Amino acid sequence: MPFRDKENAYNAFRTAVDKQYDRLNVAQADRRMQAFRSGLSEMAEQGKGRIHSERDRLMRTYERMKARSRPTKTTSASLTSRPRAAVASSRDGA
């Protein structure tokens, strides 16, 4: 199936599903939570190993994001703080 046709079919499906959710007055956050719970249920049926591997994958993603934010915080702190010499000279009244 060509990519364009596949994309059109997916968009038509999403539109139809969204209309049904709108008709039922289901918020998008509730839809996401339901999808998450459904995914967990499927993993539970596959066994504990599947749940543990999913947890490990999420923890690795979390650690990567945390590691990326550390240099950003350090860099932004060094750009916004004044050097110690400038702070000392401002205290002396110079």
- Residues whose CB falls within 8 Å of the CB of residue 71, separated by 6 or more in sequence, listed in order: none
pLDDT for residue 70 is more than 80: no
pLDDT for residue 90 is more than 70: no
Q: How far apart are CA 51 and CA 54, in angstroms?
A: 5
Percent of the chain surpassing pLDDT 70: 76
The average pLDDT across 51-79 equals 82
Q: Which pLDDT does position 11 carry in this prediction?
A: 93
- Residues whose CB falls within 8 Å of the CB of residue 43, separated by 6 or more in sequence, listed in order: 50, 51, 54
Q: Which pLDDT does position 64 carry in this prediction?
A: 93
Higher pLDDT residue, 18 or 93?
Answer: 18
